[in-house]
Chains A and B, each alone.
Chain A
């Protein structure tokens, strides 16, 4: 038993080392210096002043998206359209924040409610398609990303929607957020950490507890693991399953709100604001293998790669190497569980003869 745990651990280490080595080779082959790249990534994410605060602020939306995704996955729903849900959530936040004149906390609350509603609605379309017409949500959520993207682009051409009154740049940008709609920061050891990170952590803990301790979480897991047995005991696939899909979209919408108001994404809504936060949140969820607690460190690692990549310009290596590193890490971390599950099945096959 112990040796098996050790084997799996070694497998993890080896796959991560191979993934990073491949990235290093890639950097070297294109004329960069792998050492400098990893140094810059560390500087940008942790070592330079104020860096880890920014990393934690960036991790908040990733975590919220990931936790929502995990809830969907536990119920057997493969939502993979977070990028679009998050974009719409950010757009809804921007619209509310720049349209209504309300005191700070109220304005933020209202903005987030709008984000949650819009994100949930967008995933809800996929839920309705699945349960009325049997359209696989894997396909519909993906296609909806592109529609979401065009809707926000459209919104950015209309002043009554998202476009800034005094837009001068060629790319259409949104109205700057009023200060009341900017998430306040905590000051910790000279770092600014958005309150969004606190919201994300509380959200994670609550969802984790609901999944592990309540009858709702129990039913949800039952549905995801064996939908027919679940239905026999009165778990409604439409209610709980559809609900979980909507919830995952709502969480992605909230992630968009946190991302926009957190300050790490600039001070206004733009068409490119989501910039893979949704995808990365999804990857965090996949890596956490449906365990909420694991999503926290994973979100931090991904956020670190993201903030770190801001420091790459000085090394002359394109910042998108960070995306490559992220994806390679995911692939690397997929390998050991795949190997051990295969071994388990090989061993187990033919047992029940």
Chain B
């Protein structure tokens, strides 16, 4: 903390608390914060200081406790133990409004804009002052100009792109003139170019007002690129802290995971894009050698899906996947991946185009036709279409296999349990018993149930949509290995992912989706990061 010494004392934060001129009180001091959920300790005696005028990175895997910590700071969760001090004064933060009063604001990853409402209405949401449209629009315009955000206050949020929405989010946050801003995984929905722009805004915001910024992320590149100092969390504890300039990717990775990191898939999981690209420059060493004449198992021809407003969610999209091939569909979130996943799950039927599995056409309007054609799906959101939380693990494993587990329509519960036990063993699923409710399992184990069910159905095609999202490094590695193994067994895999690193390390061939259409394709060995980045942004190169 001594590095923050004399620099940014002229900011409002400094003037409030900077009585002593040797070392001003940190803008935020979290001391011994502990939060438990039943037997799980999400945060365990966490101490963090955030200095004014600095971008502070908080790095950790999923489940490391960083989100819980930030929710405590923003007032969404109350800590069980520990204190929060703002400018040296100990405070309690009962709810987000109280946090706002203390000058703390957060730019959320999800869930904080109301789509059918306009930008200015969203910006004012949660304010306590009278509603004044003209003043609000002016305010939005002013902030937008100052940071070069280019947002129209009268636009409906539903009509904006992911990047624009995040800028609205930032305006909403800056509008309260916060002294402390928390960015929660801010680049997950952005193109590389948009991320660059975000970091420059972030830097301006800090330099401009002597603000304190906390950047929460699990991506090493991001932390190395955009922060001044970094705190690393693991298993609810702070395990390391350092100045970013003295850290390296591998030192950070090691601290975050708790052991040396070498495997390529792990590098990908941690967001080490350079490592992933380096790996991609070689052949897939342990990967399957793809036969040139392997049969096409999945063919999507001119798929078009219209949204409720007539907008094309999928626009004449065509992809083929051969047996044993992993095709990576890269793209920034919200470019039609969800709709494609739904189509391949039999949940949305095509307005135009067709799908062929092993050369046979599928009736997308008929529920279960894809499942019957042995198309396995690991859905983007398993709670949405991958499992039923209120049914048991055994029942969840039996979806799609009911015919084999029943006689004359009567289910053989014993056979169902036996099968479940086998699969639980084979896929290392941790659950009390096969009859435990699905909802009682951890996210990683739920994902294994989905994986076990889909792979045990002997699929011809496996669609894996964001298969590693929200998992920790170990689980990511497991998932990647399983997908690779499935391909070696001859399954055609369509990997839909927003993580470029994941696509680079796993896929034989990479397609890029933008606004519902494929705008480019490249083989694994000719993968070129720069070109890929351009395509993700919508430039066909």
Contacts and interface: CB of A to CB of B under 8 A. Distances in A.
Contacts of B205: none
Interface stretch (B141-149, B157-165, B385-393, B498-506): B385-393
Interface string A209-243: 00001111011011001101111111111000000
A351 interface: yes
Given A218-B402, A225-B388, A350-B42, A235 B63 contact: no
Interface stretch (B192-200, B207-215, B245-253, B404-412): B404-412
A340 to B, nearest CB: 15
B38 interface: yes
A214 B406 contact: yes
Nearest to B381: A228
A170 interface: no
A348 interface: yes
Interface in A299-320: none
Nearest to A237: B367
The residue in A222, A226, A230, A237 that gathers the most chain B C-beta atoms within 10 A of its C-beta is A226
Given A221-B391, A234-B367, A347-B37, A214 B346 contact: no
A212 B407 CA distance: 14
Interface in B298-346: 345-346
Contact of A232 (B77, B346, B395): B346
A6 interface: no
Contacts, number: 94
A353 interface: yes
B371 interface: yes
A232 B410 contact: no
Interface in B362-388: 367-369, 371-372, 377, 379, 384-388
A225 B406 CA distance: 21
A148 B78 CA distance: 54
Given A213-B411, A214-B411, A231 B388 contact: no
A225 B35 CA distance: 31
A188 interface: no
Interface string A324-353: 000000000000000000000001111111
A353 B411 contact: no
A352 B400 CA distance: 27
B347 interface: yes
Contact of A233 (B37, B399, B470): B399
Contacts of A232: 345-347, 367-368, 371, 377, 379, 385
Report the contact-size class of chain A (Cβ under 8 Å from the partner): 20 to 34
A81 to B, nearest CB: 26
Contacts of A221: 391
B71 A214 contact: no
A353 B395 contact: no
Interface in B465-514: 470
A349 B72 CA distance: 13
Given A213-B410, A215-B406, A350 B77 contact: yes
Nearest to B396: A229
Interface string A4-16: 0000000000000
A225 B390 contact: yes
A215 B367 contact: no
B263 interface: no
A350 B68 contact: yes
A350 B67 CA distance: 9
A228 B377 CA distance: 13
B345 A348 contact: no
B388 A226 contact: yes
A221 B395 CA distance: 11
Nearest to A222: B388
B533 interface: no
A161 B409 CA distance: 42
Given A234-B367, A350-B71, A214 B63 contact: no
Contacts of A222: 388, 391, 399
B443 to A, nearest CB: 6
Contacts of A352: 443, 470
A46 B19 CA distance: 82
7 contacts: A225-B389, A225-B390, A229-B385, A235-B367, A348-B37, A352-B443, A353-B71
Interface of A: 213-216, 218-219, 221-222, 225-226, 228-237, 347-353
